[in-house]
A and B are shown apart, each in its own frame.
Chain A
Amino acid sequence: MEKLLKLAIFISALYEVHANWMYLGLSSVGVVPVPDSCGRIPGLVQPQLEVCQNNPEALPCVSEGARRGIIECKNQFKFERWNCTTNSRNSSVFGPVLHQGTRETAFIYAITSAGVVHAVTQSCSAGNLTDCACDVSKAGLPTPEGWTWGGCSDNIKYGMQFGKKFVDAPERYRRNLGTTRERVRIMMNLHNNEAGRKIIQAGMKTECRCHGVSGSCAIKTCWKVMPTFSEVGALLKDKYEKSVEIAPRAKRKLRRRERQRRRVPIKDTEIVHIAASPNYCRANSKNGILGTKGRECNKRSRGADSCNLLCCGRGYNTETIFNKSHVCSLELFGHGLVNLKHTT
């Protein structure tokens, strides 16, 4: 009970106007909230509150999903100029980047939505949720290859449904409000949420076990598992690189900005963005950009983490870091950009 009270106080202290459900990933909703305390969680809209009240044990899953999304985002972008900056003091989590409609916005929506599906589905399989369990729809059915479905298949269907209901709620809530531009932005967010979910569905794998004498494969049962979340992250990062720019006007469906390719339909698993990304080189507090000053770069690399690209041509400083266990024999050089105030 004391724990619950603490949680409620913690959550209410964090309430801010621009709160967002992703904040659950930073706060520690480790315990199941009582239905009454749902209203004190920052950033939840009405349909989400209903989920919290009717299905309170799912909330720690959502929290875990958002956390997975945030951690994987940081992991995928650790060498880029924008390194998935989050601000733990601000309950909008990602700050202004979330509202700009860039590729980065698109990635955040997709990865957090995927995180919820992943965490919820995994909880279903682990038996932590009352509403769902393993997917046993195919259990016992033989396959043409001669093995049978069995074991605990990940219930991706439930995870997707839950994700759609919870994660899409804020966007669906204001779907038909606002100007054309705002409507297209909402459609963009919904598309990217769906892309995050679809990426997991498309990446489902089959795992098998042999039950024959001494483990021979005379009898084999297989089940479906989700890709690991770092695989999901890598797949989404790839989609981020190839993100489709969409036209600022749309009626029912989003359209490509590129005139020549208008007829090519946008796939469910593709990420879309509407605005061009800034270069993220210099700090800009208004846009929530930290800049790359002080970031560590790799002198030998030719990729995004290279000093050339990361430091935006400003050059870099070299620090000597002595490895404590080998002070005498080993010298490690870390390259970081520090103290370059007036450079580009």
Chain B
Amino acid sequence: MYYYRTMQKKHLYTLLMFMLLLEECYAAAGIKWLALGLSQTIPRIQDETICDKLTGLVKKQKHICRQQIEVMDSVKLGASMAIKECQFQFRNRRWNCSTVDPVSVFGNILNQGTREVAFVHSISSAGVSHTVTRACSSAKLTKCGCDRTVRGRSSKGFDWAGCSDNIAYGNAFSKTFVDARERGRKGDGGRSLMNLHNNEAGRQVIDDNMRVECKCHGVSGTCELKTCWRAMPTFRTVGEKLKEKFDGATEVEQRRIGTRRQLLPKNPQFKPHTGSDLVYLVPSPDYCEMDPHTGSIGTSGRLCSKASKAIDGCDLMCCGRGFTTRVKTVTERCMCKFHWCCYVKCKECQREVEEHTCL
């Protein structure tokens, strides 16, 4: 009996170790589900059997996939939108959100708790919220529709009507799906807390920037009769807001308060972060040189601007290594004239532009 019990304990121990190891792997893998945004081979996700084949989903996410297969297209679209927006917002920075392979998406970059990782988490969770909410409004999903809580007469003298974007549903879905990976991990130095916070910040930014859109229904479009609805900000706006949050992100560290673990600003003098601020645990590397360990691909070969003093300027972008200049001839339409009726005739002009590339 005693022997049996120790065996059981031993087994339990190895199982626990294995599980911890597995979790470590997950932590190292970053947000693997973003791979959905890159998968070209699966055009549409319609069949439950495909859920197990999708790369990068954890068990709970696969479960959600099987349960709500109709949402998965939106998730996929959200992931690809998030990657594109990240690349747009970071186009002038040394790390330009470039994807390195279709499985790990951004490579080892996501292993550290840097500001870049904070941004990627927030934009991808916002991406899912945004596309799912949009799908609700366009009646593509059976489980949700327009936001019915926004109705009646407003204090500003218009009627709430039309289809208000159901951001509450989108955010709730994003929370269950995106946060699934981070639930219940301990001993990771605050990485899961950081990811959860930044995921939430991404969703919060959409919620904070909801607009009121209106339409006038009076005679010849006068505004005697006006109906309005709540609409989400464009995803570009969300990206811009999150980029601002990235620039002012707060460095935090994990502290235990009683039994709870909490992220608190590293320097007590700094402004405490709010729910929509991004937080990070480790300062970023400079991303100047190729470094497989940090996942930095370096800035060699990147285009830079000669006149700019900011991070896109050749001086900072090339990290002092210098740059080469190539004169490129571009052909563009010019001296366009309108001819009656109705076409525009243009000439083709050739212009020389200088292109600077980092060494």
Contact = CB atoms under 8 A, between A and B. Distances in A.
A343 B267 contact: no
Contact of B248 (A312, A335, A339, A341): A335
A299 B284 contact: no
A317 B286 contact: no
Given A308-B247, A320-B271, A344 B94 contact: yes
A297 to B, nearest CB: 10
Given A307-B247, A308-B247, A313-B94, A339 B271 contact: no
Given A279-B316, A342-B285, A313 B246 contact: no
A304 B246 CA distance: 20
A343 B93 contact: no
A319 B270 contact: yes
Interface stretch (B1-9, B162-170, B307-315, B349-357): B307-315
A343 B249 CA distance: 13
Closest 6 CB pairs of A and B: A313-B311, A318-B271, A342-B283, A320-B271, A344-B286, A279-B315
Interface string A302-344: 0010011100111111111000000000000101001111111
Interface residues of B, number: 26
A343 B284 contact: yes
Interface residues of A, number: 25
Contacts of B115: 315
Contact of B284 (A320, A338, A339, A342): A342
B220 interface: no
A84 interface: no
A316 B284 contact: no
A318 B270 contact: yes
B269 interface: yes
Contacts of B247: 307-308, 315-316
Contact of A319 (B94, B269, B285, B286): B269
Interface string A262-279: 000000000000000001
Given A309-B309, A333-B271, 6 more contacts: A308-B247, A315-B248, A317-B251, A317-B270, A339-B251, A342-B286
Contacts of B93: 313
A314 B310 CA distance: 11
Interface string B81-98: 000000000000110000
A319 B271 contact: yes
Given A279-B316, A312-B316, A342-B285, A317 B310 contact: no
Contact of A318 (B246, B248, B288): B248
Nearest to B266: A339
A309 B266 CA distance: 24
11 contacts: A281-B316, A312-B311, A313-B316, A317-B248, A335-B248, A339-B266, A339-B267, A343-B283, A344-B94, A344-B284, A344-B311
A2 B242 CA distance: 65
A168 to B, nearest CB: 33
- The secondary-structure label for the interface of chain A is loop
Contact of A309 (B269, B285, B310): B310
Contacts of A317: 248, 250-251, 267, 270
A279 B317 CA distance: 11
A102 B115 CA distance: 35
A302 to B, nearest CB: 11
A281 B309 CA distance: 10
Contacts of B288: 344
A147 B269 CA distance: 63
A329 B121 CA distance: 35
Interface in A32-48: none
A201 to B, nearest CB: 32
Interface in B290-341: 309-311, 315-316
A343 B309 CA distance: 17
Contacts of B251: 317, 339-340
Contacts of B269: 319-320, 338
A281 B310 CA distance: 10
Contacts of A304: 309
B298 to A, nearest CB: 13
Interface core residue of A299, A307, A314 (most chain B CB under 10 Å) = A314
Interface in B78-116: 93-94, 115
A299 B94 CA distance: 21
